[in-house]
């Protein structure tokens, strides 16, 4: 099974965050990559888990993981899309 997890938030005033999250979902869906959404706005423990797994105490959504392995943030994902290396970025290849 594929264990791609997208840590995102349903509660944000940031237009950037909303558009980044939507962009990631569009790309994953266009490549038929299954993923699980993890909403950090349900509680601080989920946000802390994301930050701890990312190894960054200030990490903000969206963040991508393959199971518990950190893949990267939106900027890193965007670079992988440009380079046509999304599968490698997500540790699927």
Q: Angle at which helices 15-30 and 74-82 pack, to 10 degrees?
A: 40
In this predicted model, what pLDDT tens digit does every residue of 64-93 receive, in sequence order? 999 999 999 999 999 999 999 999 999 998
pTM: 0.94
In this predicted model, what pLDDT tens digit does every residue of 18-62 receive, in sequence order? 999 999 999 999 999 999 999 999 999 999 999 999 999 999 999
Location of structure tokens 């993923």: 35
Closest CA to 60 of 11, 2, 4: 11
Question: Residue 68 corresponds to which tokens in the numbers above?
Answer: 């518990």
CA distance 68 to 79: 21
- Give the model's pLDDT for residue 65: 98
CA distance 4 to 2: 6
Domains in the chain, start-ordered, CATH in brackets? Answer: 4-90 (3.40.30.10)
**41: which DSSP letter?**
G
């Amino acid at each position: 099974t594929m264990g791609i997890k997208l840590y995102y938030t349903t509660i944000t005033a940031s237009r950037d965050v909303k558009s980044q999250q939507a962009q990631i979902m569009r790309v994953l869906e266009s490549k038929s990559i299954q993923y699980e959404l993890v909403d950090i706005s349900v509680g601080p423990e989920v946000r802390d888990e994301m930050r701890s797994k990312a190894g960054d105490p200030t990490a903000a959504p969206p963040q991508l993981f393959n199971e518990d392995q950190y893949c990267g943030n939106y900027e890193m994902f965007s670079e992988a899309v440009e380079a046509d290396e999304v599968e490698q970025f997500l540790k699927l290849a």
